[in-house]
Copies of this chain bind each other. A is one copy, B any other.
Amino acid sequence: MERIAVLPERERGVCCPPTIRLRPEKVAGTSEILKALADPTRLQMAIALRDAKEPLCICDFTATFDLSQPTVSHHMAKLKEAGLVEVTKRGIWSFYRLAPDLPAAGRRILEAIS
């Protein structure tokens, strides 16, 4: 990612379409992950799960954020749909943790955010 200094010389009517190296499925998957993390609440939830020593439940986040329980549940479902999060039920609780089989793209993004 080095600095680009000069502007290219261009001729009228001639464009330089960049070649897209990424496969469409890869683009879709990555943008799904990004979309899941692009909401402030979900971003904080994901970071909390990333940094947590133990799995967390919905009620933990309901206590943290000023949001209703259905809303928190809805956000967590989005993280799960994106493959970022995994759930284990025990008793009346649903424990959430970061997906252990997180794809490399997701892992790198999660490590990049702060």
The chain A residues found within 8 Å of chain B, CB to CB, are 1, 3-4, 6-8, 10, 12, 15-18, 20-22, 26-28, 30-31, 34-35, 37-40, 43-44, 47-48, 50-57, 59-64, 88, 90-93, 95, 97-98, 100, 105, 107-114
A27 near B55: Cβ-Cβ < 8 Å: no
The smallest C-beta distance from A54 to any residue of chain B, in angstroms, reads 4
A64 near B17: Cβ-Cβ < 8 Å: yes
Contact of A28 among B28, B40, B100, B108 (CB under 8 A): B40
Residues of B within 8 A of A54 (CB): 4, 6-8, 16
CA distance A25 to B107 in the complex (A): 24
Instruction: Please classify the interface of chain A as helix (H, G, I), strand (E, B), loop, or mixed, using the class held by over half of its residues.
Output: mixed
27 A–B contacts, CB within 8 A, in A order: A1-B98, A1-B107, A1-B110, A7-B54, A7-B88, A10-B57, A12-B92, A15-B59, A16-B54, A17-B60, A18-B52, A18-B60, A18-B61, A20-B44, A20-B48, A20-B64, A22-B44, A27-B40, A27-B43, A28-B40, A30-B114, A31-B38, A34-B37, A34-B38, A34-B113, A35-B38, A109-B113
